[in-house]
Amino acid sequence: MASGGLKYYMARLNIAEKLIGINVLVFIASGLLAVLFGIPKDAVLNWFELPEDINEFITKPWTLVTYSFFHGSLGHIFWNMLLLYFFGKIFLNLFDNQRFLNVYFLGVIFGGLLFMLGYNVFPMLLSTNAILIGASAGVSAVLIFVCAYIPSREVRIIFFNIKLWQLAVFVVLKDVISLSMGSNVGGMLAHFGGILLGYVYATQLLKGNDIGSGFTKLWNGIAQLFKPRERKAPLKTVYKKKTAKNKTKVDYDKAAHQKKIDDILDKISKSGYESLSKAEKDFLFKAGKED
């Protein structure tokens, strides 16, 4: 009964909430290993953190993604997951799960690459040893994507409303100031990688170019490797008369549905999300769920 309830609850979570759950479980598990089994936390992190040294990275290429599931402190994971929940909810009201994963993990990857590049190019960092952990690059990518895609939408911050483009400017300026003060240089480089990815993805998508389409194909290819093979059913001949009239009607309905989605997205890009009527918002939300 409890198992069934858990499965039902997990099925109701959106993809952002599932990612949050994974991050929290990893954080708790890494802490328990140290407390209950005496395994040093650094010994665990060594296999999953992203090193600045390219030669070391070549021996552990998976760390370009796995570093994002580990956090250094309770405050570190709390703020990352809070932002991921808030902006993930806005994102998933506009797009499907696959596009969310594209933006998030491409942000993680690009942030990791910029981190390694910085520590192997900039003279001030060449002699510095560093490692990277945390979901900040992926979270930054999602946050900036949303802010760039619907910049005029207002959100409530404690006691006042603020437009998303203003929030994006604040986030970028905060990271620039932190970097100039030498605070968490590696983390800030990863932030900027995520910020750049999120901004480029959103602006290109508004122009009709999905820069994550190749990542979608890669993701689907990997998923197919782990998908259980289906047993082939015995061959059965079925005669069904198809009429051109029915086929034309189905094609027309699909085209009309897609056109309505495109018209709403165009309206968002020109006038902002808040310019939509309640019916248009409901339609866009249902369309995202169907995808």
- Summarised one tens digit per residue, pLDDT across range 228-241 is 766 655 655 555 55
Phi, psi (deg, nearest 5) at residue 106:
-65, -35
CB 140 within 8 A of CB 108: no
User: What's the N-to-C CA distance of the chain in angstroms?
Assistant: 31
Length of the chain: 291
Give the pLDDT of residue 36. Answer: 79
Residue 45: its H or E element = helix 41-45
Angle at which helices 136-149 and 164-180 cross, to 10°: 140
Say what the pLDDT of residue 219 is. Answer: 74
Distance, CA of 177 to CA of 291 (rounded, Å): 40
For residue 129, how far is the Cα from the chain centroid?
Answer: 28
- Structure confidence at residue 3 (pLDDT): 54
Write out pLDDT tens, residues 48-79.
999 999 999 999 999 999 999 999 899 999 99
Cα 289 off chain centre by? 17
Low-confidence ranges of the chain (pLDDT < 50): 1
Within 10 angstroms of residue 122's Cβ, the number of other Cβ atoms is 12
256 burial via Cβ count (<10 Å: 0-12, 13-18, 19+): exposed
Q: Which residue from 257, 255, 259 is spatially nearest to 286, judged by alpha carbons? A: 257
Mean pLDDT value across the chain: 84
120 to 7, 53, 65, 196: CA distances (angstroms): 45, 8, 19, 20
Distance, C-alpha 167 to centroid of its chain: 18
Q: Quick: pLDDT tens for 107-135.
A: 999 999 999 999 888 877 767 778 999 99
Q: Which amino acid is at 19?
A: L
Rounded distance, CA 216 to CA 97, Å?
11
CB-based burial label for 211 (10 Å; 0-12, 13-18, 19+): middle
